[in-house]
Structure 1
Amino acid sequence: MKRTDFAVYLNKYFTEYLPNTCGSTPQTVDSYRYSFILFLTYMQDEHRISADKVDISYLTYKNVVDYLNWLQEIRANGIATRNQRQAALNSFIRFLMYEFPEHLNEYQKILGIPIKKAPQKEISYLKTEGVALLINRVNLNRQNGLRDYVILSLLYTTGIRVSELIQIRVKDLTLQAPFTLLVHGKGQKSRYIPLMSSTIPFIQKYLVQRKYDRPERQDEWLFKNHMNEPFTRQGINYIVGKYTKLARKIAPDMIPAHFSPHKMRHTTAMGLVESGVDLIYIRDLLGHVSVKTTEIYAKADAMHKRLAIEAASKEIVPSEEAEWDNDSNLKDWLKSFNRR
């Protein structure tokens, strides 16, 4: 079967451009791969064009817009997911611009499709007492209890992502003062972050328990599941969910029902903001590319403080009627204001 130009260049994009030119991680490549599976599904379902018949000429402004709408309307994808799929297509389009300059005008129109703005969700996080309640549900005397305790403690005290947690190797720990952890973050960027001295005895005990304190085991993964394999995201989600359920039985109002490892990261960030830690430091700790990403926590903190002040002020500030409620002239002026 003759290969289409779409198949040829998509193969080149995934095997050469993304890993070699862009230095994309396997996680990014996998996410982008699924985006193109969906695009091919769209071409089959909506245009009756099978995957082996799709060629470069089908990458038009209209088809891309219709595909993005299809994701939302037919597949019921949220705005964030739609934007992720659009980012994958845009990356491929930028690659094709140098291969097919004759399509440059169409490609510029595609790249000009605006990213949809999603309403900012309220950040869900735990207060300090909620974190203590959650982590203290771990029974250190049970099998894997110490492992689970160290996992939860590291998530909270460092704010690392799940993808970063499961990539920790024994050699990434420095357990002599100053205590640090080498984290392998997004975009193959690594950073050192401090470890709290209170967690060090538990980490050391865990290393001895698993015999990771031996020099020949320095390259091994720090956390392994019951199959003696590196943890997956789902495995860490299961552990956090397990102790979330136990904590909610004691104080359901204190622990969100769907608490996740990423919300533990929010918890770390909000705790630092509330303590007055500089945003630049928080950015570096969390591994954000820009401080603008970190600013969402400062905004959330300011909003919570404002709501608390407003709630308290209701009891001390007498209610008053707005001046314009009984001033018909002012109402008339406002109604006519800026009329053409």
Structure 2
Amino acid sequence: MMKRTDFAVYLNKYFTIYLPNTCGSTPQTIDSYRYSFILFLTYMQERHHISADRVDISDLTYENAVSYLSWLQEARSNGISTRNQRQAALNSFIRFLMYEFPEYLPEYQKILGIPVKKAPQKEITYLKTGAVTLLISQVDLNRQNGLRDYVILSLLYTTGIRVGELIQIRIKDLSLQEPFTLLVRGKGQKSRYVPLMRSIIPVIQKYLVQKRFDKPEKLDAWLFNNHMNEPFTRQGINYIVGKYSTMARTIAPDMIPGAFSPHKIRHTTAMGLVESGVDLIYIRDLLGHVSVKTTEIYARADAMHKRQAIEAASKEIVPPEESEWENDSKLKDWLKSFNRR
């Protein structure tokens, strides 16, 4: 039998004991980190010709860490944010190893000192109210799963919840008595209550009756199931949003951007609240942001759009100005001769 390397032993401890028990990491975080190390082992095989069962703790060097992160962007075409996620997984494992292998502490400190790359701020893509109405109107309530899809889109828009939060909703998380609320399980195992709009309560109730979820024994059931009668995956929700956005785009191409996703519905909710003058603190709590700094991107985007609108409108009312120096030959001559030796 082949002897297990230290790397294999401690990676196993990291995933089975350290992350779930010591750190209390969520299954989503553990799965993301797991895939990061699949990529690291792939890198070791491709660049150093060291198979996964031969990788050792001593292979976790500063040079290999830097090379691995570069490989992610060059060979795997990973974006900066994805690269940073992989770096976070590697750093987490390094912090775990620091207490197990203090002799490698100088090398680990160098790895942890690798700066995180700054990703350029992407422009926020969101829909106007009319586009949202057009999107949701594509759902045929008379077709199989039409009511389910309608409730999915309505909840995404009216609550601004993430896809990962949507697929974790159970029947018992709904409170359909006043005040209407939904219990949402967010990132980092943090839960919050978000309000439900009165207008969608009858639709939700109708959906529960249709699926026979309106019985006490169904309280622990998932709110949304796919065609296999299993809980939805992220990909399943992405497919539903993509399907109806494509239908809406054929009607009004200018209103629905390409590659529209559930997260852009979340952006739409946030921007709608900002434009309505809702305080950022309330928006932060609704969206489940850890810091209001994250929420501020919507306020900045709103300010930018307002400025662009004002500038566009001002072109119609402000006469074009002609720079004085263009018609002042003396000034031009002075500028040309300025600081010449």
Q: Same fold (TM over 0.5)?
A: yes
| Aligned counterparts, 1:185-224, within 5 A | 185-224=186-225
Question: For the Cα contact (< 8 Å) 1:170–1:221, is it kept in 2?
Answer: yes
The structural deviation recorded for 1:298 is: 0.7
Question: For 1:4 and 1:189, how far apart are their aligned partners in 2?
Answer: 37
Matches within 5 A, 1:1-340: 1-322=2-323, 327-328=331-332, 329=334
SS for the counterpart of 1:192 is strand
Q: TM-score, normalised by structure 1?
A: 0.95
One-letter code aligned to 1:198: S
**What is the CA deviation profile of residues 229-288 of structure 1, one whole-angstrom value per residue up to 9, with x for unaligned ones?**
111111111111111121112111101121111100000001001101111111111111
In structure 1, distance between residues paired with 2:69 and 2:214? 51
Quote the sequence identity (%): 82
**Would the alpha carbon gap of residues 4 and 324 (structure 1) be closer, same or farther in structure 2, given more than 3 Å must change?**
farther
CA shift in 2, pair 1:289/1:331, >3 Å? farther
1:297-324 CA-partner distances (Å, limit 9, x unpaired): 1111111111111111111122224466
Q: Cα distance 1:330–1:323, how it changes in 2: closer, same or farther (>3 A)?
A: farther
1:22-81 alpha-carbon deviations (Å, 9 max, x no partner): 111111111111111111111111111111111111111111001111111112111111
Q: Distance in 2 between matches of 1:321 and 1:109?
A: 57
Name the SS of the counterpart of 1:183 in structure 2. Answer: strand
8 Å contact kept, 1:125–1:270 = yes
* TM-score (ref. length: structure 2): 0.95
Contact 1:324/1:331 (8 A) holds in 2: no
Secondary structure of the residue aligned to 1:314 is helix
Contact 1:83 1:115 in 2 (8 A): yes
C-alpha root-mean-square deviation of aligned residues, in Å? 1.5
Aligned length: 335
* Separation in structure 2 between the aligned mates of residue 55 and residue 332 of structure 1, nearest angstrom: 67
Q: 1:114 to 1:324 in 2, by over 3 A?
A: farther
Specify whether residues 324 and 52 from structure 1 end up closer, same or farther in structure 2 by C-alpha distance, changes over 3 A only: farther
Q: Provide closer, same or farther for how the CA distance between residues 174 and 320 of structure 1 changes in structure 2, counting only shifts above 3 A.
A: same
Give 5+ residue unaligned stretches, structure 1: none
Moved more, 264-273 or 138-147: 138-147
In structure 1, C-alpha distance between the alignment counterparts of 2:299 and 2:190, rounded to whole Å: 25
Unmatched 5+ stretches in structure 2: none
